Amino acid sequence: MTLATIQVKVDEKTAQLYRKAGKEEREKIHLLLSLWMREFEKSDLSLTDLMDDISDKAQSRGLTPDILETLR
């Protein structure tokens, strides 16, 4: 897979948390964003339904609420 760099505007607190996150946590964030964008492109779901669907898939792949909490 070819990787590309994009810029995403977020609030300052989110930016600070991202900068403090370790390499593994950042990779998880990148994966979540990639999954979300791919699902959004091909979905007729509302944004809320889509986010719920992505959450279900992430959990089935091992992303737990505890792991997500460490990203805060």
Output the 3-class SS for 6-70. CCCCCCHHHHHHHHHCCHHHHHHHHHHHHHHHHHHHHCCCCHHHHHHHHHHHHHHCCCCHHHHHH
pLDDT confidence band for 67 (50 / 70 / 90) = confident
Domain-located, residue 63: yes
Domain-located, residue 2: no
Domain-located, residue 31: yes
What's the domain range around 40?
13-70
Q: How many domains does the chain have?
A: 1
pLDDT tens-digit readout, 14-56: 899 999 999 999 999 998 888 878 877 777 777 778 778 778 8
Q: Are 63 and 28 in contact (CB under 8 A)?
A: yes
Domain-located, residue 5: no
Q: How far is CA 7 from the centre of its chain?
A: 14
Domain-located, residue 26: yes
Domain-located, residue 53: yes
| Single pTM value for the model | 0.55
Domain-located, residue 4: no
Q: Which pLDDT value is given to residue 64? A: 80
Domain-located, residue 7: no
